[in-house]
A and B are shown apart, each in its own frame.
Chain A
Amino acid sequence: MRTANNDQRSTNRPPKWADRFLEWYCNSGLLEGIQGDAYELFYRTTKKSKQKANLLFIWNVIRFFKWKNIKRTKNKYESNTSTAMLKNFFKTALRNIIKNKAYSFINYVGLTCGLALALLILAYVRNEISYDQFHEKASRLYRFGYTVSNGMKIAATPPPIAPALKDYYPEVEDVARVYLRNVSISIAGSTDAFEETNVAFADSAITNMFSFQFLKGNPRRALHDKFTVLINEDMATKYFGDKNPIGESLIFSGRQSFKVIGVVKDFPENSHLRFNMLVPYDDMFDLEDEKTEQVLRANFAMNFVISHSYTYVLLKEGSAPEHINATMGDFLKKNANPNVLVGQVFALTPLVDLHLKSDHQGEPTATNSMTNIYIFIGVGILTLLVAAINYINLSTAQSFSRMKEIGLRKILGSGKSQLITQFLAESFIFCVIAFIASYLIFYLTLPQLNVLTGKELMFADVLDFELIALSIGILLVLTFLAGGYPAYFITRFESVSALKGGDQKGGRRQVLRKALVVFQLAIACMLFSGSLLIVKQLKFLVNRPLGYQKEHIINIPLQSQNLNGYFQQGDSTFKSRLHSFRDIIEQQADVRQTVLSSGSPSAGVVFRGTIPEGFTKEDNIFTANLAADYDFLEAFDIKLVAGRGFSEEYGTDTKEAFIVNETAVKEFKWETPEKALGKEINREGKKGKVIGVIKDFNFLSLTTAISPLLLSIDQNQFNTISVKFENANVESTIETVEREWNKIFPEKAFEFTFLDEQINQQYASYKNFGLIIQTFAGIAILIACLGVYGLVLFTVQRKVKEIGVRKVLGATVPGILKLVYKDFALLIVLGFIIAVPVSYYFINQWLDNFVYRTSIDFFTYAISLVIVLVIVSLTISYQSIRAAQANPVNSLRTE
C-alpha cells in the first residue's frame, strides 16, 4: 500500500510527465520497485544538481522502457492488495450466505424467480415486437386496409385497386395481392384428399417484395407460369416424402393439376402471414366450375366493394405513405364507380405494425395488442422490482447484524470506498449466482411458455447478443440498487457506535423499509386483484348466453373455405348430391336434424350493401347477411319476437323474404318489431319484405357488438351443413357421416368442428393471456411473501429478548403474536389502499377493449385483500408463533 507522499519533497519532484509515462507503461507488479529506484537516484542527484537529476530521471525512464517491464495482463506479483481484498470479500460474502441460510434462500428464490420471469417476459415481448422484421425491405412494406361505411375496418381489400396503383402513384415500386384460402389437395392417382389451409394465391411481384428463402427450384419463374405451385417443406414431406418434389403434380379441388416448381421455406413464426403453398394469383379462378369462373372473372375487375385479397405495397426508398393515404379518394374516383365508394376509406399500414397495432377484421393470423404487451412489460418490471426490494430490505436488515464486522473493518483502517466496494462485490456475487440460476429456470420453462402462447421459441434463438447485453445491464443495475443502498447506509455509522451494535432506534430507516414493504404488498395486491378480474372477464365471456344453442352441433364445410363461395353457382350435380347426403344423415338414429347455411352462428357473415325502407342508396348501409335454410331458427333455437320464420308453405320465401334482428329494427328506425313486419329491403338488387323479427343473438364473437343482421334463403350461398345430434355421444355417428361424405363428395376432404368448441376457440387467446397473467401474478405474490417472511424472521430475531422479557413478566402467546401482527396488518392494508385505484385504472382500460365487459366489483377486491392477508398471516405465523412459544430462558440467555 502506498503511503502519502512527503510534503517537503513536493517542491522537488522528478518531471511529472516522465513519471506518468513510467506509471503508464510499467507493469504494475514491477512498478513500485522500478519507480522507487528511479526516485532514489533522482533525489540523490538532486543534491548536486537539479537539472542533472531531471535528465537522469528521464534517461532512466527511457531505459526502463523495455518489453519485459511493459504492462502485461498476467503477473506473478499481482497477488498484492486488490485481489487479496477481493478474495476476502468473496470469502466473507460466501460465509454470510452460508451463515444466514434462511435469508439467503429467501433472497435467492425471490431474485431468481423474479429474473426468470423477467427473462420469459422479455423473450415473449421481443418475439411479439419482432413480427415481420425479417423481410429485407420491411421498412418500405405496407398493406392496405379499408374502412367501410359502418365503421368496420377490414384487412383485405377489393382486388382491382392493386393493378392500377403502380401507374397512378410514382412512389409505388411494387404491388402484390395475396388471396388466402383452403384447398382440398390430392396427389395424382390417389383419391385421398387433404384439406390444406393457407394456400396463398399471389401476384408474382410478391417475390420481389417479401424475403423468400428458396430451398429448391428457380426463384425467377416463381408465380409466373400458370398451374405451377411452390410448396413449403412440410408440404413437400407430407406429399412426396424423401422424393424430390420438383416436377411432381398436385391436384387442387379434384379439378386442376399443378406442377411443383420449387420448395420455399415458410415464413418464420413471427410473421403475420404464413403459407403452405404459393400459387399464381390468376389461377384461383381455375379451381371453380365453369359457370362460377365466368361470374367471378366478370365481377373481379369491377368489384370495389368486397374485401377479397390482402394488398401489399412496396414504396420506393424515401417515400412515406401519407401522400397515398390522403389521395386514395381521388384514385378510387378515377378507377371505380363513385356510388359504391361512399364512406370507404383506404389506408396503408406499415407491415411491421400489423401484428400489434392492427384493428382490422380478418387478419391472416391472430393479432395482439400493444395493451397486452404493456401489461406484460408492466408485470415483468413489477415482479423484478418486488424481487429487488426483497433483496434491498433483507440485506439492509441483515446488515444490522453485521454492524460489528463493519465497525471492526473501519477500525482496522478500511475506508468508506472499500466498505462500499465490499457490499457491491457481495451484491454482485449474489446477483451473478441468481442470474445463472434464473437462466437455468428460463431454459427449463421456455417450453411451458411456448405451450401457453403458441409460440415456437428456442432457447438457442432467444439467447442472442441483445438479451445477454440486456441481462448484464439488469445485473449491474440490480447490483448497484441492491448493494448500493445497504452499503451507503451502513458506512455512515461511526465506527464506535457500529461496534456497539449500531443505532438501534433509527426511525427513518424503519420508515423507508416499511415503505418498501408497503410498495411490495401493493404490487402483489395489484397483480392479484388484476388477475382475478381478468379471469372474471374471461369467465363472463365464455359463460355469456349467446342467444342460440351451441351444444351437440357439428358444422361441416361444403366447400373449402374461400371467398369465392360468395359467387358460387354450384355445378349441376352438387345440389342433388347434397340432397342425398342430407337424406342419409338425417336417417341416422342420433341425428335430430341438419340445416344448411352460409355459416352457422359465430362462423362469420358477409356484409352487403342494403337499402332498408326509409333509406336511400346514398346512405350506403352495409348489413351483415346470413343465408339460412328453412329450419335454421329451429335448429339453433333462436327465438322469434314478431312475425314468422321461413316456411316452404309460402313458396315465395326463397325469393323475397327477410328476417331481421332487433338491432336492425332499432337501427333502421322501424320503432317496434311489429311495425317492422312488411317493411321493404333492397339488398344489392334482391328486393324483399321483412317477414319476421328475431331476438338478438351474437352471430359474431363476443368481442364485437351485435349489429343489424339479415337472414334470407339464398341457396347458392350455402356453404355449411350443420348436424344437430340428440345427445353428446356422437363419435360413432360422426364416423358414419364421414364415410358417407367421402362416398358422395370425393373431391373435398371431410372436415368438421363442434360448434361450442369453435366458439371457445375464439376466446383461446384470451384464455391463455389470463393464464399467463395468473401464473406471473402468482409468482410475484410468492416473491412478495418471501420478502415479508424474511422481514418477519428478522423482526422476530431482533425482538427475541423483548419477547423473553415480556413472557417472564407474564405475557401470553396471543399477546405476543399481536405485537408482530399489528405491524404487518397495517402494512398490508396500506399496500392494499394504494393498489386498489391503480389496479382499477388499468383493469378498466383493459376491459374497455371488450364490447361485453364484466363489472369491477367490490367483492373481487375484498377477496383479494382477504387472500393476501391470509397468505401473509400464514407467512408471519410460523416464525412468530415459534418465537412466542419459545422458553424465555433460552432467548434471554442468547448474547
Chain B
Amino acid sequence: MKGNYLGELEELVLLHVGILYPEAYGVAVMDEIEKQAGRSLNISAVHSVLTRLEDKGYLKSKMGDPTEERGGRRKRIFLLTAAGKRALEEANELRNQLYSQIPKMALQFSPVVVRC
C-alpha cells in the first residue's frame, strides 16, 4: 500500500463516494463531481482513482444489480471503509485546524479604507 497521503482528487472522489452512498459507482461519481464541483473528469480517471483508493483500503467494493442501460452488466458499488472515513475526517480536521491558524488579518480581503 502506498502511503496514507490523500491526494486532492482522491479526497474529492472519496467525498463523493460518501455523498452517493449507497449508490456510488463509476459513472455516478463522475456525474456527481461534475454537478457538485463542476469538474469534468474522464470516466477512466475516476476508475483509476477509485481502484487506487480501494488499494489503499479507504474504499471497498461489491457488485450491485445489473441494469438495462449498462447492457445488463452489474455496477461495481463502492463503499467507504472505516479507514476511508477516518482519512476524510483527518483531512477535514487538518484543513480546519490549519485554516483556523491563519491570522484574521490575512483573510480580510474587504476593501481597506485608507485615511489620508
Contacts and interface: CB of A to CB of B under 8 A. Distances in A.
A80 B42 CA distance: 28
A112 B66 CA distance: 48
A68 B51 contact: yes
Contacts of B71: 5-6, 9, 35-36, 39, 43
A68 B46 CA distance: 13
Contact of A3 (B51, B66, B76): B66
Interface in B48-83: 48, 51, 61, 63, 66-76
A45 B2 CA distance: 36
B47 interface: yes
B26 interface: yes
Contacts of B69: 39-40, 43-44
B27 A37 contact: yes
Contacts of A68: 48, 51
Interface in A27-72: 30, 32-41, 43-44, 60, 63-64, 66, 68-69
Interface in A63-106: 63-64, 66, 68-69, 80
B15 to A, nearest CB: 20
Contact of A64 (B44, B63, B66): B44
A2 B72 contact: yes
Nearest to A69: B47
B16 to A, nearest CB: 15
| Chain A interface helix/strand/loop/mixed | helix
Contacts, number: 76
A34 B73 CA distance: 10
Contacts of B48: 66, 68
Most buried by B among A37, A69, A80: A37
A412 interface: no
Contacts of B51: 30, 68
A36 B73 contact: yes
A4 interface: yes
Contact of A38 (B43, B61, B72, B74): B43
Interface residues of B, number: 23
Contacts of A2: 66, 72-73
A33 B72 contact: no
B65 to A, nearest CB: 10
Nearest to A38: B43
B27 A40 contact: yes
B79 to A, nearest CB: 14
A40 B31 CA distance: 12
Contacts of B26: 33-34, 36-37
Contacts of B25: 33, 36-37
Contacts of A36: 25-26, 70-71, 73-76
Interface string A688-702: 000000000000000
Given A6-B68, A33-B25, A39 B43 contact: no
A12 to B, nearest CB: 11
Interface size on A, as a range, is 20 to 34
Contacts of A60: 42-44
Nearest to B44: A63
B42 A41 contact: no
A673 B47 CA distance: 110
Contacts of B74: 32-33, 36
B45 to A, nearest CB: 8
B66 A33 contact: no
Contacts of A63: 42-45
Contact of B73 (A4, A35, A69, A80): A35
A16 B32 CA distance: 29
Nearest to B77: A33
B72 A64 contact: no
A6 B68 CA distance: 8
B72 A4 contact: yes
A699 to B, nearest CB: 89
Contacts of B63: 32-33, 80
A4 to B, nearest CB: 7
A377 B36 CA distance: 79
B47 A34 contact: yes
Contacts of B75: 33, 36-37
Contacts of B43: 37-38, 41, 60, 63-64
Contacts of B67: 40
B72 A66 contact: no
A33 B72 CA distance: 11
Nearest to B29: A37
A32 B27 contact: no
Interface string B28-43: 0000000000000011
B72 A37 contact: no
A33 B47 CA distance: 9
Nearest to A13: B71
Contacts of A9: 71
Contacts of A6: 68, 71-72
A168 B43 CA distance: 86
A478 B42 CA distance: 53
Contacts of B61: 33
A778 B106 CA distance: 101
A3 B72 contact: yes
B77 to A, nearest CB: 9
A64 B45 CA distance: 8
B74 to A, nearest CB: 6
B24 to A, nearest CB: 12
Contacts of A37: 25-27, 43, 47, 70, 75
Contact of B27 (A3, A4, A41): A41
B76 to A, nearest CB: 3
Given A36-B25, A40-B27, 12 more contacts: A30-B51, A33-B74, A33-B76, A35-B71, A36-B26, A37-B75, A41-B27, A60-B42, A63-B44, A66-B44, A68-B51, A80-B63
Interface of A: 2-6, 9, 30, 32-41, 43-44, 60, 63-64, 66, 68-69, 80
Closest 3 CB pairs of A and B: A33-B76, A36-B73, A63-B44
15 contacts: A2-B66, A6-B71, A30-B51, A33-B63, A33-B74, A37-B43, A37-B47, A38-B43, A39-B71, A40-B70, A41-B27, A60-B42, A60-B43, A66-B44, A68-B48
